[in-house]
Amino acid sequence: MTTLVLDPPQGRSTLPFNDARHPQRPLEVNFYRPASHGPEDEVVFVQHGMLRNGDDYRDFWIDAAEKHNLLIVAPTFGNAHFPQAEGYNNGLVVAEDDAIAAKEDWLYAVPARVLAALRKAGVTKRDKVRLFGHSAGGQFVHRLLATQDETPFSVAFAANSGWYTLPTLERRFPEGLGGLGLGAAELARWLAWPMVIFAGDQDIVTSDPNLPAQAEALAQGPMRYARAHFMLEFARQEAARLGLPCNWSLITVPGIGHDGAAMSRAAAAYWFEGRIPSVEELRPEAEAVA
**End-to-end Cα spacing for the chain:** 32
CB–CB of 182/234 below 8 Å?
no
Task: Tell me the angle at which helices 184-192 and 136-147 cross, rounded to the nearest 10 degrees.
Answer: 130
Per-residue pLDDT of the chain (290 residues; tens, 9 = 90+): 345 579 999 999 999 999 999 999 999 999 999 999 999 999 999 999 999 999 999 999 999 999 999 999 999 999 999 999 999 999 999 988 889 999 999 999 999 999 999 999 999 999 999 999 999 999 999 999 999 999 999 999 999 999 999 999 999 999 999 999 999 999 999 999 999 999 999 999 999 999 999 999 999 999 999 999 999 999 999 999 999 999 999 999 999 999 999 999 999 999 999 999 999 999 987 654 45
- What is this structure's pTM? 0.96
> Beta strand 71-76 with 196-200: parallel, antiparallel or unpaired?
unpaired
Contact 249, 194 (CB under 8 A): yes
Residue 120 C-beta-side C-alpha neighbours within 13 Å: 10
| pLDDT confidence of residue 5 | 74
Residue 151's pLDDT is 96
Beta strands 43-47 and 11-17, pairing class = unpaired
Q: What's the distance, CA 195 to chain centroid?
A: 11
Write b or e for each residue in 12-48: b if 16 or more Cβ atoms lie within 10 A of its Cβ, otherwise e.
eeebebebebbeebebbbbbbbbeebeeeebbbbbbb
Q: What share of the chain is helix, strand, coil (3-state, %, to 5)?
A: 35, 20, 50
C-alpha span between 148 and 139 (Å, rounded): 14
- Domains of the chain by start residue, with CATH: 11-282 (3.40.50.1820)
Residues 261-281: tens digit of each pLDDT: 999 999 999 999 999 999 999
Cα–Cα distance measured from residue 4 to residue 114, given in angstroms and rounded to the nearest whole number: 8
Taking CA atoms, 121 is separated from 4, 14, 20, in Å, by: 9, 16, 17
